[in-house]
Chains A and B, each alone.
Chain A
Amino acid sequence: MDTDGKKGVSRSKEGQLKLYRKILTEIEKEIQIHPNYADLRNQMGLLLMAVGDFEGAESHFSEALSLNPRYREAALNLGFLRIEMRRDREAEAFFLSELKRHPKDGLLHHALGLLYLQMDRSEEASLRIRKAIGCHPYYRDYYEKKGIWRKGKVQLGERAKKVLQEAHRDYPYAQFHNFVGLYLAKQGRSSQAIQELKWASRLRPDEFLFHSNLGMVYYYHGSYAKAIREYEQALKINPRYGMGYANLSYVYGLMKRTREALRYMEKAVRMNPRYADLHYNLALLYSDRRQYPKAISELKKALRINPNYLFARINLGILYEEEKKWREARREYRKILQVTPDNEDVRRRLERIS
């Protein structure tokens, strides 16, 4: 593994490598229990790549793809790994075949551009860079920052080669740091998780999911202002990311800023009308503000999507009581008791209004 101190995992100190090896052992155990989980195979591939075992990484990415042939992330990891291993022809064939399926995917053109540059095929590299720019404005900014795109022209020379010689690592290493960050977050190691996720979003600043994950860890860490900033950044990159609005709502909820929480939850529901959980949360917000008819309407929607949504039905019964709709309240309580006959609270409520 490169230890020049500039890129991806290469910055790692021994302590970090030790941490990655420890996670690797945990994932190995998981694979023994669930050998057919493509996600675990992909994660194992990333970890092996990070500790320098490229052949092992290749084998796991390939296994992930054989388990799930449409697993885009594993496919891209494999392609970029082959560039790293200087198996240029295989990498070229791989990315060209992916491009047949996704001709407007800027990342694939970008990958081929990097590969052709590595292979000293400047004209083809230039063409791919132009195509990447045509696919997504992010690449224009990216190449401009690197000094490769100036005044509407691709500038490829020795400097460009030097600047881009390690850029093929950005995608898999960003995926790696994202995975490690989420893994650490699940273990409650927020500070380390934040460092890993920051690393991921530095390598791929255009990936909304990394910002969203970073926002999530800040949220669990209790750094709400930073969480809001990352969620907003994720939504700036991908305004159609409906769950991002729900996440913002939860943060504002913790800050007791219910007006903002309500605004974002309404938007989340508009974008994900089939999520019972979001209707339920919106109902809580309306109910907290004593907007009972609106809360009832949202709970009914949640129950239409998931008729077994117990808490939604309890809330609905209570709101009917608030609205003095005793018959409807009794109906909901009876339905709950059919499913959970030992629910004493609900039984008492039913007895009180019977």
Chain B
Amino acid sequence: MLREDFFIQSNVRRILVRSHIDYSELTFGTVRGVVYLQGRLKILGAYSHGASIEDEELGARTLRSLELKIRGIPGVVDIKFQLVNWKKEKGQWTPTEKKE
């Protein structure tokens, strides 16, 4: 049976663009079914870089949705986020940077 990392990678690319995310500062890769997302998450339409309550909620909601969609791709066994401005602790997404 063929492995499907390229299929997964193509799906992740498609999901990212449909997810209200400015993915210009994100890189992603697929390694034997494990999806890696690395870099800075920027949400389209959020002007205060995660500083306001609304932006925090929007960011967390976007990440939860992104995670669900990627896990839904056939062949995905895990997803690893390595974001510089968001972290997941006890199942909750929180921004790690505050606006100056």
Number of interface residues of B (CB under 8 A): 29
B27-46 vs A: 1/0 string, CB under 8 Å? Answer: 11111101010100000110
Number of interface residues of A (CB under 8 A): 33
Check B31 against A315 for contact (C-beta < 8 Å). Answer: yes
**Contacts A188-B18, A285-B6, A287-B3: A250 and B13 contacting too (C-beta < 8 A)?**
yes
Complex interface: stretch among A110-118, A196-204, A252-260? A252-260
Check A311 against B18 for contact (C-beta < 8 Å). Answer: no
Partner of B6, one of A186, A188, A261, A312: A261
A314 interface residue, CB < 8 Å from B? yes
Partner of B20, one of A187, A256, A312, A318: A187
Check B2 against A311 for contact (C-beta < 8 Å). Answer: no
A288-319 vs B: 1/0 string, CB under 8 Å? Answer: 11100000000000000000011110110010
Check B10 against A250 for contact (C-beta < 8 Å). Answer: yes
**Which residues of chain A have C-beta atoms less than 8 A from B38's C-beta?**
310-311
**Contacts A187-B20, A250-B13: A314 and B29 contacting too (C-beta < 8 A)?**
yes
A284 interface residue, CB < 8 Å from B? yes
> Chain A nearest CB: distance from B24 CB in Å?
12
Given contacts A281-B9, A288-B4, A309-B27, 13 further A-B contacts (CB under 8 A): A26-B45, A29-B47, A186-B17, A220-B17, A253-B6, A261-B10, A288-B3, A290-B3, A310-B29, A311-B27, A311-B31, A311-B36, A345-B34
6 closest residue pairs by CB, A with B: A311-B29, A253-B10, A284-B6, A288-B3, A250-B10, A284-B5
The interface of chain B, by Cβ under 8 A from chain A, is 2-7, 9-11, 13-14, 17-20, 27-32, 34, 36, 38, 44-45, 47, 80, 82
